[in-house]
Amino acid sequence: MMYYGYWYFVMPIMAALAIIFVFLFFYLIKPFAMGPGMRMNMRSDPLDILKEKFARGEITEEEFKKKKDLLS
């Protein structure tokens, strides 16, 4: 018995699975490949960034309050 037509159905499925596994691999490995500073910046929301700038002295208290009111 010859099943030549069988591969026309299986090959696209195998190719799709291979592509999915490659994307999953890189998606799961990416957080471990980044340094700690890069991971922290990915999860920061605008209010946290504003608080950090105020703590570092990059903005004044007045600027902080204005920008905080805009975000809230």
pLDDT at 67: 92
Asked if residue 54 has pLDDT above 90, the reply is yes
Look at the chain and report how many structural domains it folds into: 2
Average pLDDT estimate for 9-19: 90
Q: Do residue 39 and residue 71 come from a single domain?
A: yes
How many Cα atoms occupy the beta-carbon half-sphere of 16 within 13 Å?
5
Q: Report residue 42's pLDDT band, with 50, 70 and 90 as the boundaries.
A: low
In terms of residue numbers, what domain contains 28?
A: 1-33
Residue 48: phi and psi, rounded to 5, are -65, -40
Q: Do residue 58 and residue 69 come from a single domain?
A: yes
8 A C-beta contact, residue 59 and residue 53: yes
pTM higher than 0.85 for the full model? Answer: no
